[in-house]
Structure 1
């Protein structure tokens, strides 16, 4: 199969989503698939590690007032970041218009910094793994003052509705736990025609200690 993984950043030190992305992509490549990673931001170390596993990385930048996964210097700059990202929940950025061409499946991991419009299945099936809550919350946690409110503010709800216009056109939306799926539903996420699955993240089992090792 020809598989493309899409993640807004691929920069060390990796977080859980990047580590999961690499583990999945390298395992698919080891099984003989043609696997690529497309990202808006990457560093040499991550690119080299992927190349060693036979996975090619393509960087397709999009304009942002600061790099994805970094905090803006002011509330205004953060508002611009999320504003542009919300626009790209409707309008696909030019650099990503042909990301589905000649691929058997596109697997989107984190779209913030690229825009939720990449979730729409146009010319290839699209899988989206919800590593966090960015479908419904720009903060990705849904927490406010240490609590989980039953409803977020008006701006977040409007933004989530825009994001959902693209998410509903994905082929499959994967949640790592039932709790994550349920929390999305509580905050108004509606998958539409997209199929929702709960698939726990799988990780290789650690090697057993050698016999006689203390």
Structure 2
């Protein structure tokens, strides 16, 4: 990839996620111009109607690629708590009933497991990252980070469930990590590092494969 930058579109309007994804992708894809859907007119909102992280990520990436005529990158992610059978899962962003209400989501989750002892408060952050081309070709990769759920939020960084998640091997929540520290160990960082070689192949015109390779601890 030489000459003028190749362009890809992030299929999200979430400002927190845009910043995090750009921080992860820029070092991996230095010659790629990373745009957002806000740079285009009439890109539709995509309802997350699939029942898996991978399905929702592919749904969003394919819709935005079709609307913009450019390769599109999307993710779907959430927290899976062991004692809740993997919930909130794909419903993480709207667990309390209203999409994106982080404070309410945290409050509800902590209330649901308030009486669960520390040794049983395990869970994982999961992210599926997808690329789709305008011709419909697509691929998805997954990242996963294990950890434990705290009894109260801590830290002012990150977003979503970061203030109540302590990664394995750490003694601080993700919200207490610097952005660089978080990206090195997070589910989203791992998913997009796994996806980056696929993006390079796609932009170079090489075949890509849709398998769900992953990076996890």
Fold match by TM threshold 0.5: no
- The normalised TM-score by structure 2 is 0.32
TM superposition score normalised by structure 1:
0.32
Q: Which has the higher helix share?
A: 2
